[in-house]
């Protein structure tokens, strides 16, 4: 038999609702297949894993984590109606709900029902207990449920005769907050006492009072909310011309695709290395930004986009290099590239705005700290909102207000204010929006249309350049990728955009020659690609550099063998015994080899020659060196004795021992910690709250060790159970997820 | 998508395709707000800079107009962020104004008190401001007018100067258009300057900058101080003013090392203005000697630093800067803009050439090869001697001689950097020399004889770079240049660009030693001219000797 708990019930209770899982299960069972399918569509988390039967579906649907998700998907009006249902008493009918709120509440009620957030027991609207708990004990700022029936006539007459101060207090608390601090009671001169005596207010504890819920609703004129957000706030902003907006968007699209390939090309030449703490360093980000000609925020965005799309890979040593995915990406059409980038951006949990330097969140691009689970949902919601406003550039303020209505759960969440701004800026870089309004490309994308119209809107690639007398070449439009690649090997880019300005310098031509082009090849390439004749000074420049290129040769060798006598050199070169040295003649009197100098010396000596070793300055070294290690000596680490424990540690250990001992005495018959499934755990917890009984739980600590506790559960909220722990006689909250099992205690 | 002539780049450069049908129309439309950076043969490059956009604001253009123009002529769609940037930059101009207040004198006024507070907090600006009169106004001491404008520009909040100019002591000056008339661009330049108040007019050498100066004086009708580079230039200004205006010899004074005359129109040299005695500038009083109504700076790109400092103190006088190029090797373009004033007029060289006002020029780079002996001494020379070694090679002397012989019927200038070299060449060619230590009288005599045709070949050092009017010179042979100075190359080409009486073209030879520093510097020097559309052709020294020129 469960024991009755000795501790008192808290004053701020939730309304008494019988355990309801069974009846929700029945109600769900009676729904049509389509309605169940709708439920799964609205609450996708219920399908993973697929529940076995209706009772486990009902248990899952009324579990706190799933309910939190479901509540997050409600708009403000639906949330208010849920609040109202939670605030009103048990036997709530549709009529009563409409009187307390608004006729449109019935529509919202349908939506709540479809999500299985409410269910009907004949005419009565019911709400799972866990949901009431989630909404909290103070729905719409109302006080606790009255323990005695309310006589409205008595209240009205009482209020008429109330002392001025008391009436003022009642008035001030009518629309919330639920709980008022009394402060210094002497100052209020008995006004509060009068209210308490007449039961217009109740005491919550020694310092706080509240208006009982029924009285509160009566004072609110039978309504729950002062303002019901029936209609969403309008999104407003400047009118935008379709054509101009689309022009701006296509400019962004072409910039974006160019930035992506330029950044990858840049990093393949100047490869950055991630910081030891993860993420790209500010210096590398600045360099990239400078190269692209954009600010750091935009550069970080491009880098992240490449990362998300798999265009770059982070090597084991932290180097960031373009991946093979980049080559595949480049072979796709512009439209396909854009579609890929936008899709991945839309779905990503990475919040790139967090990198923003001026807002100093201190988070590095390509690092591990950007993920936020809510990001894709909110991002998509924002885009859906602006999608409906094709001809206006929404003001951030009105967008924010609308978002607060559509996703009320996000209103006070972290980054609630920043995120929409970031999304808008990113959507602009992407070209989803043009001059502030959604572009036709963004619109087509969100509608999952097959043809976005990007290939047609982008300027066609040009296949020629114009070379001018000042040693510059201009590509008067986007160059084909082959031309652009080849040209940039021997020309420096001076200006970027739809067109590109290249400059030929001695350095750039030399680079081209280093790449393996010959001077004539470069000249012929320029002649065939340039619409204008190649100016003579440029031809001279190329010939000049080509003539001098490669006159000096630099190579690598481990050993050289020199001898003033050319005959000896020739005989060594021809000597078969020395073949393994792979000697190469670089001058009549000099041979080189890749073998270590010591080995070569030995081999040559063993073949009957009489070589001697030369030092760096050319002196003959007569004595072989004594070998020394090349690396720095590292001393082994000394491991010390364990340090003595402090008094506090000892005391804590004793206490833990005693508690464990006591827990053990409750369950003397059983050495093991109870193990129950999650559903069982929740059920037993609920039951024990209801029956006010003491239970024992197994509780995992952060290291995975499980301890046994004896507790009196008080309430369940947000995945936690609040309970009094017998171990230290404190009320603490336990994470339900960490409870390995529960059991009633038999004494 | 329109098929316009303009490509707007994301780095704020504008590429104008001049082979496009509406390129001319577009060039006129963007000229007020974009700065022409270079104008080679096919694509001209303009740049949108903060200064350029503010200039446009000053001239009454608004951001909307600028954006519309870009959108109208752009071949591809223009990034939105660029348009926003333009609007923001232009919006910065005019938030601060310098005005003269009847009670408080010179004041800095704003329409946006936040901006005023921001700039007043800046370390460089704070000491220049006087009392805060109200939320929107600060008193400013008149002596700080120039310095304050400089500092505000650096902060990115340029002040619009409405404080006006003193009229100066009036003096009747009219143009005397007898047998000649003001060319269109000269008239436009003078008017552009006059309406803008103060500023710089950029015209190629030989396009008649002196006449623009005279036309500006005719607008001002006030006493005028003209600052020029040297004494010879001063005398040419005087002669030109006497010929073109109602001014007489008695009204014009020369203030130079030789003479110290102060007359209603006074022409002073930079050198005398920056002469110091016991650490003090001895001739500064000249700025206050008259109540000048106009100050003209000739060859503004050479203006020495001390003159900038004096100029900051005379912001209430109208200032006109004249130059062929705003390129300054010392990077002080910003000082010219904030202290003399914004660019008021500019026209590409090639355009004036095509109108026939300056002679068409053929630029030839002659590559000479060092002898083996010279190669060795070049390779082993000290760093600071190397340029001298390669640019004074003996081969150049022979090539110069061959060229002089080839052009014996033309009037030829041989220009060089190193005195030893020009002395040697002059001795070889039997031609007179003008260099730094040649007395002024002697110089004037030689120039005179050259103009009249009595002598056909003149060897000059860099003293002849500027403001020497030698209209009949049609061949210039540069045997050595001043390292990589771009403006000098332009000036030297300018010597032969004056239109010839028989319409002949000019030719400019630049002798360059192959595979040496000389070649690197030459390339840098030529960049400015190449950007102006003067393409160099390269020939070998052997071609000169065999007459294939």
The string of DSSP letters for A711-732 reads EEEEEEETTEEEEEETTTTEEE
Q: Do B76 and A254 touch (CB under 8 A)?
A: yes
Average pLDDT over residues A336-348: 93
**By CB neighbour count within 10 A (0-12 exposed, 13-18 middle, 19+ buried), where does A649 fall?**
exposed
pLDDT, position A4: 43
Tell me which residues of chain B, numbers 313 to 372, contact chain A at a CB-CB cutoff of 8 Å: 365, 367
pLDDT, position A503: 92
Q: Does B84 touch chain A (CB under 8 A)?
A: no
CA distance B131 to B138: 6
Per-residue confidence band for A637, with pLDDT thresholds at 50, 70 and 90: low
A575 CB-near residues (< 8 Å, 6+ apart): A607
Query: Lowest-confidence range among A75-84, A671-680, B367-376?
Result: A671-680
CA distance A21 to A166: 43
Q: What count of Cα atoms within 13 Å lies in the side-chain half-sphere of residue A197?
A: 10
Per-residue confidence band for A184, with pLDDT thresholds at 50, 70 and 90: low
Looking at beta carbons, which residues of chain B come within 8 Å of A428?
Answer: 80-81
Domains B184-352 and B359-545 share a fold: yes
Looking at beta carbons, which residues of chain B come within 8 Å of A473?
Answer: none
pLDDT, position B207: 80
pLDDT, position B67: 92
Looking at beta carbons, which residues of chain A come within 8 Å of B38?
Answer: 470
Two tokens at A601?
């010396």
Q: Do A537 and B535 touch (CB under 8 A)?
A: yes
pLDDT, position A11: 34
Average pLDDT over residues B458-462: 87
Which among A255, A428, A497 has CB closest to B7?
Answer: A497
Q: Does B536 touch chain A (CB under 8 A)?
A: yes
Q: Does A696 touch chain B (CB under 8 A)?
A: no
Which among A428, A496, A548 has CB closest to B10?
Answer: A496
Looking at beta carbons, which residues of chain B come within 8 Å of A247?
Answer: 1, 71, 77-78
CA distance B16 to B18: 6
Q: Does B6 touch chain A (CB under 8 A)?
A: no
Q: Do A474 and B42 touch (CB under 8 A)?
A: yes
Looking at beta carbons, which residues of chain A come within 8 Å of B515?
Answer: 544, 548
Which among B531, B533, B538 has CB closest to A536?
Answer: B538
Which among B80, B526, B535 has CB closest to A251?
Answer: B80
Q: Do A498 and B11 touch (CB under 8 A)?
A: no
Which among A255, A468, A497 has CB closest to B41?
Answer: A468
Instruction: Specify the higher pLDDT residue, A19 or A314.
Output: A314
Closest CA to A250 of B77, B71, B8: B77
Query: pTM of the full predicted structure?
Result: 0.67
The whole-angstrom distance between B77's CA and the closest CA on chain A is: 5
Looking at beta carbons, which residues of chain A come within 8 Å of B528?
Answer: none
Average pLDDT over residues B113-122: 87
Rounded percentage of chain A residues whose pLDDT exceeds 70:
88
Per-residue confidence band for A91, with pLDDT thresholds at 50, 70 and 90: confident
pLDDT, position B486: 66
- Checking if the pLDDT of B9 tops 70, the result is yes
Per-residue confidence band for A665, with pLDDT thresholds at 50, 70 and 90: low
- pLDDT, one tens digit per residue, over A264-320 is 989 988 899 998 888 898 899 999 998 888 888 999 999 999 999 999 988 888 889
Residue A468 near residue B536, CB atoms below 8 Å = no
Q: Tokens 């992407």 correspond to what residue?
A: A430
Q: Do B76 and A544 touch (CB under 8 A)?
A: no
Query: Lowest-confidence range among A491-495, B64-68, B399-403, B467-471?
Result: B467-471
Query: Lowest-confidence range among A533-547, A574-588, B139-153, B468-482?
Result: B468-482
Q: Does B78 touch chain A (CB under 8 A)?
A: yes
Residue B199 near residue B339, CB atoms below 8 Å = no
Task: Give me the CATH code for the B359-545 domain, please.
Answer: 3.40.50.300
Looking at beta carbons, which residues of chain A come within 8 Å of B8?
Answer: 497-498
Q: Does B379 touch chain A (CB under 8 A)?
A: no
- pLDDT, one tens digit per residue, over B484-512 is 666 677 777 877 777 777 767 788 899 99
Query: Where along chain A do its domains lie?
Result: 21-141, 152-211, 239-457, 466-548, 559-613, 647-744
- Checking if the pLDDT of A143 tops 60, the result is yes
The whole-angstrom distance between A331's CA and the closest CA on chain B is: 23
Instruction: Specify the higher pLDDT residue, B175 or B529.
Output: B175
Looking at beta carbons, which residues of chain B come within 8 Å of A502?
Answer: none
Strand ranges (E), A430-487: 466-467, 472-475
The whole-angstrom distance between A41's CA and the closest CA on chain B is: 39
Query: Where along chain B do its domains lie?
Result: 6-91, 96-161, 184-352, 359-545
Q: Does A503 touch chain B (CB under 8 A)?
A: no
- pLDDT, one tens digit per residue, over B436-457 is 888 888 888 888 888 888 888 9
Per mean pLDDT, which of A177-181, A333-337, A699-703 is the most reliable?
A333-337
Which among A293, A428, A476 has CB closest to B11?
Answer: A293
What is this model's ipTM? 0.72
Q: Which residue of A has its CA nearest to B514?
A: A544
- pLDDT, one tens digit per residue, over A714-740 is 888 778 888 888 777 777 888 888 888
Q: Which residue of B has its CA nearest to A474?
A: B43
Residue B481 near residue B391, CB atoms below 8 Å = yes
**DSSP letters spanning B60-71:** T--HHHHHHHHH
Q: Does B7 touch chain A (CB under 8 A)?
A: yes
Average pLDDT over residues A356-364: 74
Cα radius of gyration (chain A): 39
Cβ neighbours around B418 below 10 Å, total: 15
- Checking if the pLDDT of A15 tops 60, the result is no
The whole-angstrom distance between B352's CA and the closest CA on chain A is: 19
Residue A126 near residue A197, CB atoms below 8 Å = no
Residue B154 near residue B124, CB atoms below 8 Å = yes
For Cα atoms A101, A103, A106, give the angle at the middle one, nearest 5 degrees: 95
Torsion angle of the four alpha carbons A542, A543, A545, A546, in this order, in degrees rounded to the nearest 10: 110
Q: Do B9 and A495 touch (CB under 8 A)?
A: yes
Q: Do B7 and A468 touch (CB under 8 A)?
A: no
Average pLDDT over residues A147-165: 79
Q: Does B37 touch chain A (CB under 8 A)?
A: no
Q: Do B71 and A428 touch (CB under 8 A)?
A: no
- Checking if the pLDDT of A350 tops 60, the result is yes
Q: Which residue of B has its CA nearest to A498?
A: B9
Q: Do B534 and A469 touch (CB under 8 A)?
A: yes
Two tokens at A451?
């043809």
- Checking if the pLDDT of B306 tops 90, the result is no
Q: Do A471 and B530 touch (CB under 8 A)?
A: yes
Looking at beta carbons, which residues of chain A come within 8 Å of B367?
Answer: 540
Q: Do A469 and B533 touch (CB under 8 A)?
A: yes
Chains A–B, number of C-beta pairs less than 8 Å apart: 114
Averaged pLDDT of chain A: 82
Q: Do A469 and B530 touch (CB under 8 A)?
A: yes
Strand ranges (E), A90-213: 119-121, 124-126, 179-181, 202-203, 208-210
CA distance A708 to A727: 10
Two tokens at A230?
């029936």
Task: Give me the CATH code for the B184-352 domain, please.
Answer: 3.40.50.300
pLDDT, position B222: 92
Looking at beta carbons, which residues of chain A come within 8 Å of B520?
Answer: 506
Q: How far is CA A98 from CA A17, A85, A136, A525, in A?
A: 22, 10, 22, 80
- pLDDT, one tens digit per residue, over A419-455 is 999 999 999 999 999 888 999 999 999 998 899 999 8
Domain topology for A21-141: Arc Repressor Mutant, subunit A (1.10.10)
- pLDDT, one tens digit per residue, over A245-262 is 898 899 899 889 989 988
Looking at beta carbons, which residues of chain A come within 8 Å of B42?
Answer: 466, 468, 474, 532
Looking at beta carbons, which residues of chain A come within 8 Å of B6?
Answer: none
Q: Tokens 């202290």 correspond to what residue?
A: B339
Q: Do B43 and A466 touch (CB under 8 A)?
A: yes
- Checking if the pLDDT of A650 tops 60, the result is no
SS3 assignment, position A87: helix
Which among A468, A535, A548 has CB closest to B43?
Answer: A468
User: Three-state secondary structure along B394-426?
Assistant: HHHHHHHHHHHHHCCCCCEEEECCCHHHHHHHH
A739 CB-near residues (< 8 Å, 6+ apart): A681, A697, A698, A699, A700, A721
Q: Does A414 touch chain B (CB under 8 A)?
A: no
Q: Do A496 and B535 touch (CB under 8 A)?
A: no
Average pLDDT over residues B118-137: 87
């Amino acid at each position: 038999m469960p024991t009755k708990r000795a501790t008192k019930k808290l004053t701020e209770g939730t309304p008494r609702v019988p355990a309801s899982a069974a009846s929700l299960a029945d109600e769900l069972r009676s729904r049509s297949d389509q309605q169940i399918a709708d439920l799964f569509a609205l609450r996708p988390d219920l399908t993973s894993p697929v529940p076995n039967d209706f009772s486990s579906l009902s248990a899952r649907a009324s579990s706190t984590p799933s309910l939190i998700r479901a509540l997050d998907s409600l708009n403000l009006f639906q949330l208010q109606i849920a609040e109202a249902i939670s605030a009103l008493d048990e036997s709530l009918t549709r009529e009563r709900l409409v009187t307390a709120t608004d006729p449109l509440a019935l529509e919202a009620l349908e939506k709540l029902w479809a999500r299985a957030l409410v269910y009907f027991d004949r005419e009565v609207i019911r709400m799972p207990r866990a949901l009431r708990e989630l909404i909290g004990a103070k729905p719409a700022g109302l006080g606790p449920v009255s323990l005695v029936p309310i006589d409205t006539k008595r209240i009205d007459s009482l209020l008429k005769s109330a002392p001025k101060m008391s009436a003022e207090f009642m008035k001030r608390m009518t629309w919330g907050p639920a709980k008022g601090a009394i402060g210094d009671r002497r100052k209020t001169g008995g006004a509060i006492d009068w209210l308490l005596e007449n039961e217009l207010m109740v005491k919550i504890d020694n310092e706080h009072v509240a208006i009982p819920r029924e009285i509160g609703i009566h004072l609110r004129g039978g309504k729950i909310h002062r303002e019901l957000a029936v209609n969403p706030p309008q999104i407003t902003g400047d009118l935008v011309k379709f054509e101009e907006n689309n022009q701006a968007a296509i400019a962004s699209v072409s910039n974006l695709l160019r930035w992506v390939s330029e950044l990858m090309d840049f990093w393949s030449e100047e490869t950055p290395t991630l910081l030891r703490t993860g993420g790209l360093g500010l210096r590398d980000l600045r360099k990239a930004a400078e190269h692209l000609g954009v600010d750091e925020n935009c550069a970080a965005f491009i880098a992240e986009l490449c990362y998300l799309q798999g265009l770059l890979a982070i090597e084991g040593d932290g180097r960031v290099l373009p991946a093979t995915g980049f080559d595949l990406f480049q072979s796709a059409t512009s439209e396909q590239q854009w579609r890929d980038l936008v899709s991945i951006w839309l779905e990503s949990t990475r919040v790139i705005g967090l990198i923003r330097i001026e807002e100093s969140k201190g988070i590095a691009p390509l690092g591990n700290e950007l993920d936020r689970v809510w990001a894709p949902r909110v991002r998509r919601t924002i885009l859906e909102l602006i999608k409906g406003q094709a001809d206006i550039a929404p003001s951030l303020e009105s967008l924010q207000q609308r978002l607060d209505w559509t996703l009320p759960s996000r209103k006070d969440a972290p980054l609630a204010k920043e995120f929409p701004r970031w999304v808008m800026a990113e959507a602009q870089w992407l070209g989803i929006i043009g001059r502030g309004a959604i572009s036709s490309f963004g619109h087509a994308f969100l509608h999952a249309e097959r043809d976005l119209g990007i290939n047609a809107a982008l300027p066609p690639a040009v296949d020629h350049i114009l070379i001018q007398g000042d040693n510059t070449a201009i590509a008067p439009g986007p160059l084909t990728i082959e031309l652009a690649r080849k040209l940039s090997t021997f020309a420096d880019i001076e200006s970027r955009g739809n067109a590109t300005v290249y400059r030929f310098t001695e350095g750039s031509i030399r680079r081209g020659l280093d790449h393996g082009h010959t001077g004539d090849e470069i000249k012929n390439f320029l002649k065939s690609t340039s619409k204008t004749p190649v100016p003579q000074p440029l031809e001279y420049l190329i010939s000049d550099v080509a003539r001098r290129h490669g006159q000096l040769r630099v190579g690598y060798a481990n050993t050289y063998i020199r001898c003033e006598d050319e005959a000896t050199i020739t005989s060594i070169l021809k000597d078969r015994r020395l073949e393994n040295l792979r000697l190469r003649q670089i001058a009549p009197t000099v041979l080189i080899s890749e073998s270590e100098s010591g080995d070569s010396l030995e081999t040559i000596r063993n073949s009957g020659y009489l070589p001697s070793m030369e030092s760096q300055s050319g002196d003959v070294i007569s004595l072989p060196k004594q070998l020394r290690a090349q690396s720095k000596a590292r001393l082994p680490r000394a491991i010390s004795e364990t340090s003595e424990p402090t008094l506090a540690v000892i005391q804590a250990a004793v206490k833990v021992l005693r508690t464990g001992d006591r827990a053990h005495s409750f369950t003397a018959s059983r050495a093991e910690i109870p193990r129950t499934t999650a559903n069982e755990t929740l059920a037993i917890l609920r039951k024990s709250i209801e029956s006010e009984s003491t239970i024992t739980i197994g509780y995992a600590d952060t290291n995975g060790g499980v301890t046994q506790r004896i507790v009196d559960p008080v309430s369940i909220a947000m995945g936690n159970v609040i309970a009094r722990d017998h171990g230290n006689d404190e009320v603490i909250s336990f994470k339900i997820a960490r409870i390995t099992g529960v059991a009633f205690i038999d004494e | 998508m329109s098929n316009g002539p303009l490509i707007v780049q994301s780095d704020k450069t504008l590429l104008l395709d001049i082979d496009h049908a509406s390129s001319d129309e577009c060039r006129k439309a963007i000229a007020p707000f974009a700065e022409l950076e270079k104008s080679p043969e096919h694509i001209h490059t303009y740049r949108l800079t903060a200064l350029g956009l503010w200039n446009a604001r000053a001239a009454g253009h608004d951001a909307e107009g600028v954006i519309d123009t870009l959108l109208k002529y752009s071949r591809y769609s223009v990034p939105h962020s660029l348009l926003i940037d333009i609007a923001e930059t232009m919006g910065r101009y005019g938030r601060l104004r310098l005005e003269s207040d009847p009670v408080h004198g010179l004041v800095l006024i704003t329409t946006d008190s936040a901006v005023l507070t921001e700039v007043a907090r800046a370390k460089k600006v704070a000491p220049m401001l006087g009392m805060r009169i109200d939320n929107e106004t600060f008193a400013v001491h008149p002596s700080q007018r120039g310095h304050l404008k400089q500092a505000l520009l650096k902060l990115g909040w340029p002040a619009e100067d409405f404080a006006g100019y003193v009229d100066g002591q009036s003096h009747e000056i009219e143009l005397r258009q007898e047998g000649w008339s003001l060319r269109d661009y000269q008239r436009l330049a003078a008017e552009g300057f006059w309406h803008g108040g103060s500023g710089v007019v950029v015209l190629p050498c030989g396009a008649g900058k002196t006449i623009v100066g005279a036309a500006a004086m005719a607008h001002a009708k006030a006493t005028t101080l003209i600052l020029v580079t040297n004494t010879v230039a001063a005398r040419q200004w005087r002669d030109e003013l006497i010929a073109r205006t109602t001014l007489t010899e008695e009204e014009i004074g020369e203030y130079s090392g030789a003479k110290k005359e102060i007359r209603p129109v006074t022409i002073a040299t930079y050198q005398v203005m920056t002469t110091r005695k016991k650490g003090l500038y001895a001739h500064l009083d000249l700025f206050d000697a008259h109540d000048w109504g106009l100050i003209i700076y000739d060859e503004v790109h050479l203006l020495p630093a001390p003159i900038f400092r004096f100029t900051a103190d005379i912001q209430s006088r109208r200032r006109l800067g004249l130059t062929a190029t705003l390129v300054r090797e010392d990077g002080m373009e910003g000082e010219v803009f904030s202290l003399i004033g914004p660019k008021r007029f500019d026209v590409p060289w090639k355009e004036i050439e095509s109108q026939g006002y300056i002679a068409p020029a053929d630029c030839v780079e002659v590559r000479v090869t060092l002898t083996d002996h010279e190669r060795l001494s070049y390779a082993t020379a000290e760093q600071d001697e190397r340029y001298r070694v390669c640019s004074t090679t003996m081969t150049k002397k022979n090539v110069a001689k061959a060229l002089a012989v080839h052009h014996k019927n033309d009037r030829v200038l041989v220009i060089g950097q190193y005195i030893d070299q020009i002395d040697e060449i002059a001795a070889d060619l039997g031609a007179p020399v003008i260099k730094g230590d040649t007395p002024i009288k002697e110089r004037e005599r030689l120039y005179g004889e050259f103009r009249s045709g009595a002598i056909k070949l003149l060897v000059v050092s860099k003293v002849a770079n500027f403001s020497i009017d030698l209209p009949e010179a049609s061949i210039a042979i540069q045997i050595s240049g001043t390292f990589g100075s771009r403006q000098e190359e332009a000036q030297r080409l300018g010597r032969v660009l004056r239109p010839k009486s028989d319409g002949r073209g000019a030719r400019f030879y630049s002798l360059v030693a192959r595979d040496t520093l000389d070649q690197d510097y030459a390339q840098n020097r030529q960049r400015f001219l190449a950007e102006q559309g003067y393409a160099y052709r390269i020939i070998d020294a052997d071609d000169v000797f065999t007459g294939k020129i």
